[in-house]
Chains A and B, each alone.
Chain A
């Protein structure tokens, strides 16, 4: 069994390649930002923001562009951690923590399990009828529209309202108790649905599964 698990070697290479890539991209940016910080061009918060910005954009690009599915998953983790940093910058520590816990700890693990159970198929190279050009058009169009709207708008207020941790919890369970309960029920139902969907519904299915997977392997 062990010799059929190629993961360690892959991960070694992955970590090395990924680390080098991240270092190559991040180091100049970090230096530029540090220089700006020292020159009092930006504040520390802005430094962190731009770092997070870089991580998120780079990670998201990796997620949607890399053909290797494991690389894409790792990029996703980086992106989500960057998003958690953005939450911190917005003075919502609780959400940031939840983000790390749920995404980093839950969702991504689930996804990695999912891709392992589906033989970790990489994204295929589609030669006929690829949607990528259309997808790029739509993405660029929508991004343009959003950016135009954001830049064009008068946002007014430049002050941040900070909600203390304690108040957040108190109000969540006082004013939003019903939605919280409903979300709990929703999670329950989703979980049940996931189980029902994922398990082999009939014995014959399981048999067929095993025989075909043996045949294919």
Chain B
């Protein structure tokens, strides 16, 4: 029997590392990958809570499923945006997306 803390510690580390990746990376693709890490951490949390704490053990699972689904959609959409950025700026670095300040 693995205590729930182990899973939570794992997800905390995973989430923090993903966040680090999002902040530290310049390549849009790598940032996307880091986001996937964070989403995976969230899913682990959902499932751990559902299994250990929820008598029905169901809502968390559905949430995890939806997170995976939405993540897939997000990756597809985000890659479209990255391609667009690449075509406009000849690069996939997020530094290139600097037109927020004109």
Answer yes or no: are A and B bound together in one complex: yes
| Interface, chain A (partner B; CB < 8 A) | 43, 45-46, 49, 53, 56-57, 60-61, 63-64, 69, 72-73, 76, 79-80, 83, 86-87, 89-92, 94-95, 98-99, 102-103, 106-107, 110-111, 113-115, 117-119, 121-124, 126, 130-132, 134-136, 138-140, 142-143, 146-147, 150-151, 155-163, 168, 171-172, 176, 179, 183, 186-187, 190-191, 193-198, 200, 205, 209, 212, 216
Q: B68 — which chain A residues lie within 8 A by C-beta?
A: 95, 98-99, 102-103
Q: B3 — which chain A residues lie within 8 A by C-beta?
A: 155, 158
Q: B18 — which chain A residues lie within 8 A by C-beta?
A: 60, 64
Contact between B74 and A190 (Cβ–Cβ < 8 Å)?
yes
Interface string of B42-79 (1 = CB under 8 A from A): 01100110111111111001101110111111111101
Q: A176 — which chain B residues lie within 8 A by C-beta?
A: 62
- Give the size category of B's interface with A: 35 or more
Contact between B44 and A86 (Cβ–Cβ < 8 Å)?
yes
In terms of DSSP, what is the predominant structure of the interface of chain B? helix
Chain B residue nearest in CB terms to A190: B73
- Chain A nearest CB from B6 CB (Å) reads 6
- Chain A nearest CB from B76 CB (Å) reads 4
Interface string of B82-96 (1 = CB under 8 A from A): 111011001111000
Q: B66 — which chain A residues lie within 8 A by C-beta?
A: 179, 183
Contact between A146 and B16 (Cβ–Cβ < 8 Å)?
yes
Chain B residue nearest in CB terms to A189: B73
Contact between B17 and A61 (Cβ–Cβ < 8 Å)?
yes
- Chain A nearest CB from B25 CB (Å) reads 6
- State A162–B44 Cα separation when bound (angstroms): 15
Contact between B83 and A197 (Cβ–Cβ < 8 Å)?
yes
Known A53-B10, A134-B23; contact A64-B17, beta-carbon cutoff 8 A: yes
Contact between B32 and A111 (Cβ–Cβ < 8 Å)?
yes
Chain B residue nearest in CB terms to A194: B80
Q: A95 — which chain B residues lie within 8 A by C-beta?
A: 43, 47, 61, 64-65, 68
Known A69-B27, A191-B73, A194-B77; contact A139-B19, beta-carbon cutoff 8 A: yes
